[in-house]
Amino acid sequence: MLQPEEAQAENNPAAAQADATSPAEPEENGEGSDGEQDGSGLRGEDLLVEEGEIAGDYLEQLLDVLDYDGDIDMDVEGRRAVVSIDGGRDLGHLVGRTGDVLDALQELTRLAVQQQTGVRSRLMLDVAGWRADKRTELTRLGTSVAERVKDGGEREELKPMTPFERKIVHDAVAAVDGVYSESVGADASRRVVVLPE
Same-domain status, 156 and 114: no
Same-domain status, 14 and 105: yes
pTM greater than 0.85: no
Confidence of residue 42 (pLDDT cuts 50, 70, 90): low
Confidence of residue 189 (pLDDT cuts 50, 70, 90): very high
Same-domain status, 38 and 80: yes
Residue 67 has pLDDT above 80, yes or no: yes
Total domain count for the chain? Answer: 2
DSSP the chain: ---HHHHHHHH-HHHHHHTTTSPPPGGGGTS-TT----TTS--HHHHHHHHHHHHHHHHHHHHHHHT---EEEEEEETTEEEEEEES-TTGGGGT-SSSHHHHHHHHHHHHHHHHHHSS----EEEETTHHHHHHHHHHHHHHHHHHHHHHH---EEPPP--HHHHHHHHHHHHTSTTEEEEEES-GGG-EEEEEE-
Q: Which of 77, 110, 128 is the last residue of a domain?
A: 128
Per residue in 141-179, pLDDT tens? 999 999 999 999 999 999 999 888 999 999 999 999 999
Q: Which of 101, 128, 155 is the last residue of a domain?
A: 128
* Rounded average pLDDT over 28-53: 59
Q: Which residue has the higher pLDDT, 178 or 89?
A: 178
Please report, for the domain that includes residue 108, its CATH number. Answer: 3.30.300.20
Determine the pLDDT at residue 43: 58
Same-domain status, 90 and 162: no
Same-domain status, 56 and 100: yes
Same-domain status, 141 and 105: no
Residue 41 has pLDDT above 50, yes or no: no
To the nearest whole number, what is the mean pLDDT of the chain? 82
Domain boundaries, position 144: 133-196
Q: Which of 103, 128, 153 is the last residue of a domain?
A: 128
Per residue in 1-10, pLDDT tens? 444 444 334 4
Residue 83 has pLDDT above 70, yes or no: yes
Determine the pLDDT at residue 131: 93
